[in-house]
Amino acid sequence: MVGPPFAVAEKAATYLLRALPKPEVAVVLGSGWRAAAEELGPAEVTMPMAYLPGFVAPTAGGHAGVVCSVRAGGRSVLLLEGRSHLYEGRTPSEVVHAVRTAVMAGARTVVLTNAAGSLRTDFQPGQVVVVRDHINLTGASPLSGEEPPAPYGSRFVDLTDLYCARLREVARRAGPDLPEGIYAALPGPHYETPAEVAMLRAVGADLVGMSTALEAIAARHLGAEVLALSLVTNLAAGVSLEPLDHAEVLAAGDRAAARLGRLLAELLPLL
Ligand code: 8IG
């Protein structure tokens, strides 16, 4: 990213608001969730992320790299289709740039979706899990580096209610059977060894993935409320007897797309 991250995000928010309506809710569509957006109806405006300052074209499969505006339940919703990851060689500031931009543009609620590996045999592929909390094992923070400029809050941000109880309650109204789980964020892109999976279970994680945690921290730092939803696409190494395959991860997402879309369509008006 060229320039100080908060200033670049402010500029990107200004550009975004020239082309798209002011968002109330931002939804990051991770792997497996992109096709779900079709259930939300046609986009009012679509723009390639690359048009916005500081955005880089995602390289991971299943990530399109567009932003679009849809109306859902009377709300203006900004869909961020595609995200950047540390494993693409992006910096933490780049990873959270889209979320920061969306919050600076007006979104007070951020919904982060992802695909994740399951550390529990009772969370099988196809299961959606509401993230109750995370364990950030990436070794990174979006708040490292220069101090956030005024008017933004202290870099020493409190994360007690990061995945806020209010939004988790709302998610349960849209999907009464949705379980909650702890998401461990790792840098990837390799999957875990069985020994690492045993460690993750021992420290209390239910899910493992390579995204979401830094975005949640950045959104919370800017005062937004955060909800995160994981689609289980595989059992983590050693939980499953099968070797992990990225194509299967994407296929599991495709199979779940319509169901995920209906969940989002029911959820968004309640937020
Ligand atoms: I989808 O098993 C998905 N993302 N680290 N481990 C990690 N990330 C993942 C996995 C997994 N499955």
Classified as helix, coil or strand, 198 is helix
- Given a cut of 60, whether residue 60 has pLDDT beyond it is no
Looking at residue 39, its pLDDT comes to 84
**Residue 9 has what DSSP assignment?**
H
Q: 247-263 pLDDT, tens per residue?
A: 776 777 777 878 888 89
Residue 116 in contact with ligand 1 by CB distance below 6 A: yes
Mean pLDDT confidence for 133-140: 98
Q: 100-114 pLDDT, tens per residue?
A: 999 999 999 999 999
Looking at residue 92, its pLDDT comes to 97
- Given a cut of 90, whether residue 181 has pLDDT beyond it is yes
Record the pTM: 0.93
The atom number, within ligand 1, closest to the CA of 188 reads 5
Classified as helix, coil or strand, 44 is coil
The correct answer on CATH 1.10.3720.10 for the domain covering 5-270 is no
Distance CA 260, CA 220 (A): 24
Q: How far is the CA of 210 from the centre of ligand 1 (A)?
A: 7
Residue 127 in contact with ligand 1 by CB distance below 6 A: no
Please give the distance of CA 20 from its chain centroid, rounded to a whole number. 21
Q: Whose CA is nearest to atom 10 of ligand 1?
A: 117
**Looking at this protein, which amino acid is placed at residue 154?**
S
Tokens 């070794």 map to which residue? 139
Q: Whose CA is nearest to atom 5 of ligand 1?
A: 209
Distance CA 19, CA 63 (A): 22
Looking at residue 62, its pLDDT comes to 46
237 pLDDT band (50/70/90 cuts)? Answer: confident
Looking at residue 58, its pLDDT comes to 58
Packing angle, helices 92-104 and 5-19, rounded to 10:
40
Q: Whose CA is nearest to atom 8 of ligand 1?
A: 209
Looking at residue 82, its pLDDT comes to 83
Q: Is the dihedral of CA 143, 144, 150, 154 positive or negative?
A: positive
Mean pLDDT confidence for 188-210: 95
**187 Cβ contact list (under 8 Å, min separation 6):** 86, 87, 137, 138, 139, 140, 210
Looking at residue 64, its pLDDT comes to 55
Looking at residue 77, its pLDDT comes to 95
Candidate from 85, 193, 246, 249 with most ligand 1 atoms within 8 A of CB, to mutate: 249
Instruction: At 227, give phi and psi (nearest 5°).
Output: -125, 135
Please report, rounded to a whole number, the percentage of residues in the chain having pLDDT higher than 70: 95
Distance CA 129, CA 20 (A): 31
Mean pLDDT confidence for 140-167: 95
- Given a cut of 80, whether residue 98 has pLDDT beyond it is yes
Residue 115 in contact with ligand 1 by CB distance below 6 A: yes
* Domain ranges, ordered by start, for the chain: 5-270
Total H helices, total E strands in the chain = 6, 9
The atom number, within ligand 1, closest to the CA of 115 reads 1
Kindly list the catalytic residues. 31, 63, 85, 87-88, 115, 210-211, 234, 246
Q: 7-42 pLDDT, tens per residue?
A: 999 999 999 999 999 999 999 998 888 888 888 888
